[in-house]
Amino acid sequence: MNILIVTGLSGAGKSGTLRVLEDFGYICVDNLPAGLMGSFLELCRTTEPPIERVALVIDSRASVFRFSAERMFQTLEMLNDPYEVLFLDCSNEVLQRRYNETRRRHPMHDDASAGILIERELLAPLKERADYIIDTTDMHPRELQRKIESLIGTNTENAFRLVITSFGYKRGIPLNADIIMDMRCTANPFYEESLRALSGRDKPVRDYVMSDSVVTAQLDRITQMLNDLIPAYRREGKHRLMISFGCTGGRHRSVAMAEALYERMKDKYNTTIEHRDLLIEAESISERFKG
């Protein structure tokens, strides 16, 4: 398990950093009391499958729990897992301006300027032990993202995640989809008695759907579209793209098409597949049996 301790001054960009790390598959926990760190990391290690990458924000807010940097590092050393410390710094003037603009209270003091000085002194031991120090004084969010990517040494090609899903229009479209493709333009296996009880995961249904030249041509065009779009998404700092296929019930045509696209893309990108309405049906059947 790789452990990244994210720390630094309030207002220097820790929240934005966590969002970037989450996109790269880190399990992120903000404001974890240092005294609970050992128990939490042990839980991550014993989870099945084990969690491989963890990012923990430990900063001045931990002072209410009598924070000790030395005890924190002792805990990390005892775990025998590799860890690194990322410290986010920023000039006092810019931090003061950020607090004035947001009108938020500094966690260390009602007066932001005093809080910044107190926090610097409290976090000095962490800065001294930091593996990476990023000064965000003149950074835009996109620059911070690129800097983090370069420091953590993540393969951005593998970090991009393509999510392929299927759904049925009768239950509504998935609100988190980036691209929606309608499969109701092709013959419905539901009306074939031998196929009705099957799903798009089953070969007879897939063969039936893919026997339509319109569908295979559509699959080719979608594949080419994604090959063109994904590099553009990545250049804009996007790490996730969700394409959803819909049909009437979300059981046959949409599932078959999602499976076909998954087979084409799984070796090129970090690709996952989910069939929303098949999952809903399975949960519904399970509930009926429980009743």
Q: Tell me what pLDDT residue 257 has.
A: 97
Q: Is the pLDDT of residue 158 over 60?
A: no
**Mean local confidence (pLDDT), 15-38:** 84
Which of these, 33, 43, 120, 109, lies nearest to 68 by C-alpha position? 33
The residue segments making up the domain with residue 9 are 2-154
Tell me how crowded residue 207 is: count the other CB atoms within 10 A of its CB: 12
pTM: predicted TM-score of the whole model, two decimal places: 0.54
Asked if residue 148 and residue 163 are part of one domain, the reply reads: no
Asked if residue 204 and residue 80 are part of one domain, the reply reads: no
Asked if residue 139 and residue 17 are part of one domain, the reply reads: yes
Q: Tell me what pLDDT residue 208 has.
A: 97
Contact 180, 258 (CB under 8 A): no
Which of these, 199, 206, 167, 201, lies nearest to 184 by C-alpha position? 167
C-alpha triplet 74, 76, 118: angle, nearest 5°: 70
* Domains contained in the chain, number: 2
Q: What is the pLDDT of residues 50-102, one digit of tens each?
A: 788 899 888 776 554 456 667 777 777 777 778 888 999 999 988 888 887 77
Asked if residue 143 and residue 72 are part of one domain, the reply reads: yes
Q: Is the pLDDT of residue 216 over 70?
A: yes
Q: Residue 48's domain is classified under what CATH number?
A: 3.40.50.300
Of 109-123, 147-161, 259-273, the least confident: 147-161
Q: Report the SS3 class of residue 140.
A: coil
Q: Which helix (H) or strand (E) holds 121?
A: helix 112-128
Asked if residue 9 and residue 131 are part of one domain, the reply reads: yes
Asked if residue 105 and residue 214 are part of one domain, the reply reads: no
Asked if residue 31 and residue 103 are part of one domain, the reply reads: yes
Last residue of a domain, one of 114, 137, 154: 154
Q: Which helix (H) or strand (E) holds 192?
A: none
Q: Is the pLDDT of residue 29 over 70?
A: yes
Asked if residue 278 and residue 207 are part of one domain, the reply reads: yes
Q: Tell me what pLDDT residue 263 has.
A: 96
Last residue of a domain, one of 154, 173, 200: 154
User: Average pLDDT over the chain, rounded to whole?
Assistant: 84
Residue 36 burial (CB < 10 Å; 0-12/13-18/19+)? middle
**Mean local confidence (pLDDT), 182-196:** 94
Band the pLDDT of 113: cuts 50, 70, 90.
confident
CB neighbours of 10 closer than 8 A, spacing ≥ 6? 59, 60, 95, 106, 107, 108, 115, 116, 119
Asked if residue 105 and residue 11 are part of one domain, the reply reads: yes
Q: Report the SS3 class of residue 245.
A: strand
Q: Is the pLDDT of residue 286 over 60?
A: no
Q: Tell me what pLDDT residue 61 has.
A: 67
Q: Is the pLDDT of residue 198 over 50?
A: yes
